[in-house]
Each structure stands twice: as structure tokens, then as C-alpha cells.
A and B are shown apart, each in its own frame.
Chain A
Amino acid sequence: MASQKDPRRITALVAVLVAAVVLAFGLAACGGGDSGINGGDTEAEEVKLEKKATGDITISNWPLYIDKQTVPDFEKETGLSVKYIEDVNSNEEFFAKMDPLLKQGESGGRSLFVVTDWMANKMHELGYLQNFDKSALPNFEKNLVANLKEPSYDPKREFSAPWQSGMTGIIVRTDLAPDVKSICDLFDPKYKGKVEMLNELRDTVPLVMKCLGIDPTNASEADWMKAIDKIKSASESGQIRRFTGNDYGADLTSGNAVAVIGWSGDAVQLQADNPNIEWRMPTEGCILWSDNMVIPVGAPNPTAAEEWINYVYEPQNEAQIEAYVNYVSPVEGVKEILLKEEPEIAKNQLIFPSKSFTKNCTIQPSPSGEEEQNLNRAFNAVLNG
């Protein structure tokens, strides 16, 4: 038994620990923002002193959406110190996490985060986003690709700057499901229990609408419901194995799934795991979308966030990101750079798609208001069986 030890030491230890706790609380209270106690701060302080930086910024992005070099390069060039966190796993979940803060005019310490078109739109309508100071964004003005310059929800690109674009279509194991070429093929009983769909209302349902011959762009609520019903019966019959986020990649690699609804950039990266994995343009066409950098209300140091946007819109910098991320780049001039440096990537239709390649594709539709709530409820009822 511990009676051997000098009990005074134990008491002292407890006292020290209690003191430490009190101290930690005190520090937390003085530190203010929640980034204050997460470690690494002393280093940041030093950097600040040495380089007279204009401050720190916190960037929230999706996981594996950037190479390892860009953030340090940016820090070196600007003297800013970046806290880059990968805590956006789904638009809805991120929104649910942020909404209560944004409602109070706070961003939880984030200066910039990345969300998909429809979410950027929703947040803007709720008054959660700041407009850019365009004079600080010469690269963005100059290098944004033409077809993304005037999206319906932000025709002047005042509050959203595309980070990456992409296509939603099908990803197959060519060795296990060679003849899946369309969305409708996913409902082929031959692949029962081996098909997966995305748990995203705006990706999965419009594609199934296309299979049903409905144009998602002008679809009514009833049209959406029709597609949801089709998905529902496929799920209940066991045709659809499960609904996933990016984790379909694991199932494709292991062979648990042979054909899924998935995102283009993922497929490029997945081929490294298994050359039999291939993204296919559905015969019905694909869904096109962009993830956008936005600056929330209450963002600390928005100027620094703008500096970041301007930085990634420099083609040379963007090329470095693109070579790792493999989605569709929104920056003009990147292809030319990569043609020299990594021609394989530059010639890939999934990374630099031609107009003819995407001719049947639809811009991601986004129901809103009461319609959105009804559809959400119906779709989530399918997801939760």
C-alpha cells in the first residue's frame, strides 16, 4: 500500500496541482479568446515580436484541403501567424456549430472559413458574412476564372471567393463494377449492398432526379420528393449499403463498395490507393459546385484574411495547392504553370475539365426556406432509417 510514501509529499503534490489548475483558469480568463490556451502561443508571440507582423489569423477549412507547405510559405512571406484548423466536415454540422456564435456577431476566433456555395448564400442571407475590401484583393479580381465570376447568389463576388470547385458524379471500382455508367445503374440489383450515396441533400438528390429525367435546376418540391422516395426504397431494400461523407473512399478502397456517388477531387487522390478506382461522368451529367472562402462577422483581423485570399489567388501559390488537392482550380493561369511542372495533373479532365466534358452538368441547386426544411426532414428520415 502507498502508506510507504511520505504523505507530506502527496499533500504538496495535490497543492501544487490545485495551484496549477487555479493558475490555468486565471490565465484562461486573462487570455480572453479561446485560442489563448491551446498551446503554441509562446512561439507565436516571439514571431510577432521579431517580425512585427500584423497579427494572427485562424482559418477553418475541410480536412486534407491544402498541402503542407502553403501555410508556412504564407507565414514566411507575410509575417502573419496562421492557425489553420481542419474542422469543417460538413456544411450543416459546421453551420450548427457556428450559428449560435455568428448570431451574436462572433466567429469563435475564426478570420476565414470555407463553405459550399449554398451555405455561403445562406450565411449571407442571415447577415453572417462580411463584404470583401476588393482593393485588397487584386489577384482575386484578376485571376478568378471567368465562369465563376457571376454566381447567382453573389453576382459581384462581394463576399465569397472560391477555394476549389468540383463535380459530383460516380466513382466506381472498374474491376468490380465495370458497367456502371449512369446514376440509374446504381439502382441495378446486381450491385445490391455495394452501392453508397452521399449524405448530402444537394448532391445526392439532384443526381437521382437526373436519373428520373427531372431537371434539378427548376425542380419543384414534389420533384425532389420523388427522388427522395426512390432513394428511400433503395435504402430500405438494402440496395444502398450506407450513406457517407468522404468516407466512401475507405469503402471503395477495401471493396466494401463498388460504386458510389462521390466527388471528383477525391477520386483523383483515391487512384493512388487503387488504380482501379475511377471517377465517371454519369451519362446524365454531373453536379457542379464550389467551396468558398468567406469572412464571417466578428472575424478578428479581416485584413489578414484578405491577404490570405489574395495570396492563394497568385497562380504560382495556387499551383502548389492544386498539385496536392486535385479538385478544380478557380484560379486562371494555374494550368499553364502545372503544364510545365506536373503535366499529368494539368491534362487531367477532372482537374481542368473542358467545356464539352461538363456539358450535361448542372450547377448545384439549393432549395431554401420552408421547402428546404421539408426536404431536409424527408432526406434525413431516409438517412436515419
Chain B
Amino acid sequence: MSGRGEGAWRWLREHAVQIVGVLVVLYMLIPIAVIFGFSFNDPAGRYNFTWVGFTLDHWSNAFGIPELNEALVTSLKLAVLATVIATVIGTLMAMALVRYEFFGRRAANFLIVIPMATPEVVMGSALLSFFLLLGTFNLGFETLLIAHVMFCISFVVVVVRSRLIGFDRNLEEAAKDLGASPFQTFRLVTLPLIMPGIFGAAMLAFALSIDDFVISNFNSGTTVTFPLYIFGAAQRGIPVEVNVIAMILFFFTCATMGFATWQQRRAEKMTSVRPEQESTIAVPAGAPAAT
């Protein structure tokens, strides 16, 4: 009797960290479970806050609200464009910072860090006053794109940079010795090797962009993004379709990440250039830790 109790106690003690870890993960997923659950709710009126009854109506009619669809499409377009631009120019910046010693490097580093240390309200309002003063931009999609690229760049640089630091320069040297031009070296050696970092950075940029409310709220003009739609709707009752679309986005991301991981595993098995385990899943903010 007591022996078994002791055994269980010991098991608990030995696995304490894992148990806490799993509990924290569950905690992180609670709201998602709630959002998922309430996407099947059948509220009597406008408020999807209390459970009334089960229905699949909102799933079968997920895109039944034109304004919501438009907001979603705007957000997706914006996120894709902002991700592409920020990832491209951010990667270039990271290359410059890691590979070269040059005058102004510290200043450049500072320029990249400062936006991350600036609260969103400050950035949003500063940009708004700038756009207004300038007068050449119509507040709307363009200004949103500018703003989103702006706050994504720093994160891209930081993630890609961490990947570049762990990079084996000998591979590039080898390519050069074999007669590759600098551009060929970049394309054939460097880029494929830092691709996981770039992918991670792009994922993070996409997540930051599609989720942004504060800065967008200042600079949106008449354009309504998905978060802005939700904010407006929160005033008068969020339609269940919002939950459905949030979950669709969620599952879509699940699938993308799962696919990327699977691809990578396969690639690793086939090439095993570097046998060490790497994760495709973005370790976004992880990079500043790259000391």
C-alpha cells in the first residue's frame, strides 16, 4: 500500500517539471478551446457569451457576412504583402549586420532594436501624425502596409540574424573555391541554409501583421482589417462567424506548420547535411537570446 503511494509520489516528483509544462500548455490553449466551442453556439440574439445550443449553421455559413469577409481578405492581403516586404529587406539587413564590419553598425543595430522597445500606442500615434502632416498618403491600405512592414522588420532581422550566426562559413568558402560567383554562392549555399530562419521570420511577421490592432487602429482610414472588425463588433456583439473564421485561420496555420515540419523531416532524412535536430517552427522572439 504505502509502497505504491510512495512510487506515485516519486513519479510525481520526478516529472514535476513536465507536469507543470503540460499544464501551462493547456492554459495557453484554454481560450482557443473556448473560441472553438462557441463557434458551435446558437445564440438567441447578438451575444455569443452564454451557451444556448449546438448548431453547425455558422460553420456551413462561415463566409455569410460580407463585411467580415472583406475585412478578412484585407487582413490576409496586408499580412502577405507586409510579410514579403519585411522578410526580404529584413533578411538583407541581417546579412549586412552579421557578415560585415562597417561604420555605423552600432547605430544600425540601435535602429533595429528601438522599434521593439517602443510601445505600440506610441508607434501608431507617431505614424498617424506623420501621415497627416505629410498629406501625401491617403489613410488606408497603403498606410497600413507601411506601418505593418515597419513593425515587422525588426523581428525579421533578429530571427534571421540568429540563424546566420550559427552558420558555417566554410560552406560558402568551399563554394567560392569551386568557382561560384558571390551571387551564386548566396543563391545556392547561403539562402537554402538560412531558409528555416527566413521561414520562421516570415511566420512571425505574418502573425504580427494579421494580429495587429493598436497600430492599425490609428492608421486605417476607412479600411477595416479583421482585428478592427472584431473591435467594432465587440461593441455590439460579435457574430459567431468570427469564431468560425478565427478557427479556420488557426487550422490553416496548423496545417501549414505541420506540412513545413514534415517537408523538413523528409529533406533531413534524404540529405542529412547537418544531422542535428532543428525545428521549422518559428522560434520568433527567440533570437535576441542568440548571445
In-complex A–B contact (CB below 8 Å): yes
Q: Which chain A residues have a beta carbon within 8 Å of chain B's beta carbons?
A: 1-5, 7-8, 10-11, 14, 17-18, 20-21, 24-25, 28, 32-35, 37-40, 58, 60, 63-64, 84-87, 89, 97, 100-101, 104, 108-110, 245-247, 249-250, 253-254, 266, 269-274
Once A1-B195, A104-B135, A246-B236 are accepted as A-B contacts, the answer to whether A269 and B73 lie under 8 Å apart by CB is: no
In the bound complex, do residue B187 and residue A108 qualify as a contact, i.e. CB atoms below 8 Å apart? Answer: no
B45 touches A270 (CB 8 A): yes
Separation of A270 and B49 alpha carbons in the complex (Å): 13
Bin chain B's interface residue count.
35 or more
Kindly count the residue-residue contacts between A and B in the assembled complex, taking CB atoms under 8 Å apart. 152
Q: Are B234 and A33 in contact (CB under 8 A)?
A: no
- Whether the Cβ atoms of A4 and B271 lie closer than 8 Å is yes
B47 and A39 contacting across the interface, CB-CB below 8 Å: no
A-B contact pairs, 9 of them (CB 8 A): A2-B267, A21-B84, A34-B221, A37-B140, A39-B77, A63-B232, A108-B138, A110-B222, A272-B44
Are the CB atoms of B236 and A249 closer together than 8 Å?
A: yes
Residues of B within 8 A of A64 (CB): 46, 236-237
Chain B residues lying within 8 Å of A266, measured Cβ to Cβ, are 236
Verify if B57 is at the interface (C-beta below 8 Å from A). no
A273 touches B47 (CB 8 A): yes
> In the assembled complex, which residues on chain B have CB atoms less than 8 Å from the CB atom of A272?
44-46
Contacts A8-B187, A33-B138, A86-B67 given; indicate if A1 touches B196 (C-beta within 8 A): yes
Which A-B residue pairs are the 8 nearest by beta carbons? A34-B140, A273-B45, A272-B45, A34-B138, A2-B195, A4-B267, A246-B235, A100-B132
Q: Which residues of B contact A58 (CB under 8 A)?
A: 222
Enumerate chain A residues within 8 angstroms of B266, measured Cβ to Cβ.
Answer: 4
- Cβ A7 vs Cβ B138 within 8 A: no
Known: A1-B264, A38-B70. A273 touches B43 (CB 8 A): yes
For B222, what are the chain A residues with a Cβ–Cβ distance below 8 Å? Answer: 34-35, 58, 60, 85, 87, 108-110
- Name the contact of B192 in the complex, choosing from A5, A108, A270 (C-beta under 8 A): A5
Nearest B residue to A245, CB-CB: B235
> B190: nearest residue on chain A (CB-CB)?
A7
The minimal Cβ–Cβ distance linking A154 to chain B, given in whole angstroms, is 25
- Flag whether B255 is at the interface (Cβ < 8 A): no
Closest to A110 in B: B222
Residues from chain B with a CB closer than 8 A to the CB of A101 are 139
Closest to A109 in B: B222
The answer to whether B232 touches A4, judged by C-beta atoms less than 8 angstroms apart, is no
**Is B147 interfacial (CB 8 A cutoff)?**
no
The answer to whether B191 and A250 have CB atoms under 8 Å apart is no
The interface residues of chain B lying within 8 Å CB-to-CB of A5 are: 192, 267
Q: Are A7 and B140 in contact (CB under 8 A)?
A: no
- Name which residue of chain B comes closest to A39, CB basis: B73
Tell which of A14, A33, A60, A85 touches B88, judged by Cβ atoms closer than 8 Å. Answer: A14
Q: Which residues of B contact A4 (CB under 8 A)?
A: 266-267, 270-271
Residue of A nearest to B280 (CB): A2
What A residues does B224 contact at CB under 8 A?
A: 85-87
Pairwise interchain contact B271-A1, C-beta atoms closer than 8 A: yes
